[in-house]
């Protein structure tokens, strides 16, 4: 079975301005949760995501997250195929873990493993 896309992230320089833009553009509800603005699309289908201002490069990005069973194994496979690890496995307490990889062209793809 393949690994589904389960989340998306929009990076920006100004989180408040970007949250206002997308909530007005698409009617999304965006609530602050720690450093991220968690997006609920309200569509009843598709996936939800979040907006974040990292405070460092990369500032502008859109990343999709694939849910995987084993983040370290997936990162090792990525590297064996010529890609690289950008952000190693990082825990979000009570939620799960994420990582970022770069593909052969430098595109950033997120990995997600739920705590449940």
Is there a domain that residue 73 lies in? Answer: yes
Say if residue 58 is preceded by a cis peptide, omega within 30 of 0.
yes
42 and 82 part of one domain: no
The CATH number assigned to the domain holding 42 equals 3.10.180.10
Predicted TM-score (pTM) of this structure: 0.83
- Residue-range definition of the domain harbouring residue 75: 68-116
72 and 58 part of one domain: no
Q: Are 28 and 39 in contact (CB under 8 A)?
A: yes
70-93, pLDDT tens digit by residue? Answer: 999 999 999 999 999 999 999 999
Q: Give the model's confidence band at 116: pLDDT under 50 very low, under 70 low, under 90 confident, else very high.
A: confident
């Amino acid at each position: 079975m393949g690994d589904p896309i389960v989340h998306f992230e929009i990076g920006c320089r100004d989180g408040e301005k970007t949250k206002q833009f997308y909530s007005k553009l698409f009617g999304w509800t965006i609530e602050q949760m720690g450093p991220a603005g968690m997006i609920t699309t309200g569509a009843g289908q598709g996936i939800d995501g979040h907006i974040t201002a990292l405070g460092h490069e990369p500032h502008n990005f859109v990343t999709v997250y694939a849910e995987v069973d084993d983040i370290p194994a997936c990162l090792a496979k990525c590297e064996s195929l010529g890609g690289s690890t950008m952000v190693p496995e990082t825990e979000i307490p009570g939620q799960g873990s994420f990582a970022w990889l770069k593909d052969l062209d430098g595109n950033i793809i997120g990995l997600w493993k739920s705590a449940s």
